Amino acid sequence: MKTKVLLLGALSATMGVGCSSYAKTEQKETKPNIIYIMSDDHAYQAISAYGHGLNQTPNIDRIANEGVVFTNSFVTNSICAPSRAVMLTGKFSHMNGQTDNVRRFDGSQQTYPKLLQQAGYQTALVGKWHLKSDPTGFDFWSVHYDQGDYYNPDFKEMGKRTHYEGYSPNIVCDNGLNWLDKRDISKPFALLLHFKAPHRNWMPDTTRLNMYEDINFPIPATYWDNYEGRTSAACEQEMSIYKDMMIEWDLKMEGEGSEKGHTNLMKKLARMKPEERKKWDEFYARIKADFKQKNLSGKKLAMWKYQRYMRDYLKVVDAVDYNVGRVLDYLENNGLAENTIIVYTSDQGFYLGEHGWFDKRFMYEQSLRTPLLMRYPAKVKGGQKVDGMVQNIDYAPTFLDYAGVAIPEDIQGESLKPILEGSAQKVRDAIFYQYFEYPGPHAVKRHFGIRTERYKLIHFYHDVDAWELYDLKADPEEMNNLYNNAKYKATVDELKTELIELRAKYRDTDSGNKRILEEDKIALKKRLAHQAKAQMQTQK
């Protein structure tokens, strides 16, 4: 095993050498460079540009201030591996084959990095991969094994195990900037920086342990949700902060949890260097002593777990934001900012206590919605907010469009170039969602659905047959299931018809059981017959 030690900031100290030559060379390029930054489980609520007030992310906000923030950005399947496959292929999970975290990604299929390579781009991937097969379509890749480790991690680098010392977000950034330093500056580049942070179990850098410790975060309005009126899916999930968040593994209370939680935490802590472990132990020993002294239970324990969760989660987010700043500074210092498309997003949204939950998976807003911020000074006006609905199937065609590469017909997303450059306000009127991983972790039922600007219709299937309807204008927290409300029958019928059309458009035949599919076909025939009749009457 090869070991590399990257000193944070060392790159920054040497970047000034040769900056003018970089700037002159880059100005000749006509195709834009692309830096795609994706974190793991970064809730839009935890980005200050979205205005929720939980924390400050000044560097991510720079992308928003100097570019575009999408306020209605969504995923197609809110779980790690499928979301990554969607981003690479521009296709829904049922089309690219990556429907859950268990399957192995088919790396032989078409991806946008391969198409960019063929068009003369240099491509690189650094950070979390989580698709089991080795990356393809990249001139250089260095990825975490599986979920990766926060401290002193091993990477699979061009097929070889390589050990790094340091904190994962810093290492990923270092490796990305190091590749930029060594690349062929005569060619445009596409760099994918994938942070494993802030994925569970939210292990902060020892330099950030004391952050947020004097803050009591407001409890979300839906934290005590009892799921009245919702289907069994909401009631039977296993992602409750109070019931399912592990006191030792998730909240670092060593010796207070299950054997499994203890074993998992000890494996992660064993990766620390002695000086790191000393700081960690000293900090959490104080937290643990206070926890034991309080002897909490019931509602007080639920509130304590929420505060600990939020503090550790946001400490990890801060490390991501810091490294986003390093990337932005690198671009500025090397004359690359003007002609580089830079994107910040997450592989999906995340619950920060809403409905009493952590994790993702559901089609409810905090899981479905993901942050998306884009900057391209050469072509895109800064300071914009876009309310039109976009999805992560749109990233691939957008990059190809800007690179001057023909968008293959089988890509299912839409280029966001018209929105970014002001010639359009939206690319769709509704989005389609699907989730397949059940039975599985967190016990979220299989479901699919449609979201329009105002309404959301969800169908839970497999071992259940249940529907939920939400009026997002009147009920943005999604507490009132209107599916069986007679006043909304016409709305349900209309949404079901639109859902049928979306499934046909995206060639989805796997989301529901045969009976539901047959009902869909009958409903579609009736609607088409009605439309034909109406058209004939209009012509008369």
Give the domain CATH number at 409.
3.40.720.10
The answer on 248 and 337 residing in a single domain is: no
Q: Which residue shows structure tokens 């970064």?
A: 42
Same-domain status, 466 and 520: yes
The number of folded domains in the chain is 3
Q: Which two tokens stand for residue 469?
A: 């309807």
**20 assigned to some structural domain:** no
- Find the mean pLDDT for residues 228-243: 97
**Together in a domain, 243 and 159:** no
424 and 321 within one domain: yes
Looking at the fold, whether 311 and 420 belong to one and the same domain comes out as yes
CB atoms < 10 A from the CB of 274, how many?
A: 6
225 and 335 inside one domain: no
Is the residue at 169 inside a domain? yes
Are 267 and 360 in a shared domain? Answer: no
Alpha helices of 216-359 — where are they, by DSSP H?
Answer: 232-236, 259-269, 274-294, 298-333
In this prediction, residue 538 has a pLDDT band, given cuts at 50, 70 and 90, of low
Structure tokens at 169: 């977000």
The pLDDT-based confidence of 539 (bands split at 50, 70, 90) is low
Q: What is the pLDDT, as a whole number, of residue 257?
A: 84
**11 pLDDT exceeds 60?**
no
Is 406 within the bounds of a domain?
Answer: yes
pLDDT-derived band at 9, boundaries 50, 70, 90: very low
- Strands in 154-242 per DSSP E: 154-157, 160-165, 189-194
- Domain co-membership, 224 together with 181: no
In the predicted structure, residue 476 carries a pLDDT above the cut 90: yes
pLDDT digits (tens, 9 = 90+) for 373-423: 999 999 999 999 999 999 999 999 999 999 999 999 999 999 999 999 999
Least confident of 171-185, 348-362, 513-527: 513-527
Domain end (from 306, 334, 355): 306
Residue 343 has pLDDT above 90, yes or no: yes
Distance CA(220)–CA(52), nearest Å, equals 11
- Residue 295 in any domain: the answer is yes
Give the residue from 306, 327, 360 where a domain finishes.
306
The verdict on residue 499 lying in a domain is yes
- The pLDDT tens digits for 267-286 are 999 999 999 999 999 999 99
Average pLDDT over residues 161-187: 97
Q: Are residues 379 and 485 in the same domain?
A: no
| Residue 459 scores a pLDDT above 60 | yes
Q: Which two tokens stand for residue 468?
A: 């939920």
CA 39, 85, 518, 437 torsion-angle sign? negative
Q: Taking all residues of the chain, what is their mean pLDDT, rounded to a whole number?
A: 92
Structural domain range at position 531:
446-539
Residues 292, 320, single domain; the answer is: no
Specify whether 225 is located in the same domain as 200: no
327 in the same domain as 189: yes
Distance in angstroms (rounded) separating the CA atoms of residues 429 and 109? 29
Compute CA distances 375 → 63, 69, 89, 153, whole Å.
6, 9, 22, 31
> Token pair for residue 170?
């810093």
